[in-house]
Structure 1
Amino acid sequence: VGTAEPAAVAQIAHLAALGAHHVTLDPAGLAAGTARLPRTAAVSALTVLSIDGSAGLRPCAGRALSAALGALAAAYPGGPDLVLTGGETARTTLDALGTRELEPLGEIHHGAVHSRTPDGRHVVTRPGSYGTEDSLLRIAAALRPRLAAAPAAT
């Protein structure tokens, strides 16, 4: 999730409350190229990567942070399917993967486009400001239907 939109923050919280592993990345570490995924992230069935915005936004750093987040997401172990929110983050992640084309498969909800890469990976792209609180959950469930049937974590 490469956007600071309040709606996206609420969507992450909703997904994390249902058991997703949320990895908040330090912007300074991303900018310096020292950010790393914790080992636990690699084994989680559903992981959300986002940039820690608690220190405030620095618009001039947005492009560099998106590129660093995209590179980290592209290097995620196991070549998982991806949900990319925020246009610049989507572009930099696809560039880091070397993906030059997507085959559209359908729309999960307004603005959430489900596509496939030439190597078979599923990718959902969506503007950062789109969707209701359950948007990320709906997208994840579309990619992994068993998630829709899973009981909520307490």
Structure 2
Amino acid sequence: MLSFEQKISILEGFTELTRKDVSLGRVNFHFYGSVFDKTIVAYHIHPNGNGFVYTGDMEGFASNQKGLVNVRDYDETELRNIVKASIANLSSDAEISHQQVWKGPENESLLLVQEDYFWNIYTNDMLEESFETYNEAEAYLKEEGFIRQ
């Protein structure tokens, strides 16, 4: 487990993040280049070693209901990787990387796109459905017989 000082040093190495000291000795790091209202990347990094990184609904991370992953036991590589993923998720590049094509049983195509805090399904330029989470959108598409390409 990294010490508080090591975690802070790693997070301060991300020049796109801004440090903000909060109560009880905890520290948050904001990404003000976010294309979303959400700007916190690292939340409540605490001197006792606890802390969280925001991943939202990104696949591959075991986030809680608020989209946060506890990084208490992360090593340096794991912490750097999750912070990079969080910044990419909140940046303008995230809109491009969060698009998926799904093929239907009759070879029709739908586009699943993350926009702001929603997962929207489009047929051409027409909005078909909108969901609050990726899992809801994925379940709907699978129920309708679509397969991710």
State the TM-score, normalizing by the size of structure 2. 0.34
Higher relative contact order (CA 8 A, sep 6+): 1
Larger C-alpha radius of gyration, 1 or 2? 2
State the TM-score, normalizing by the size of structure 1. 0.33
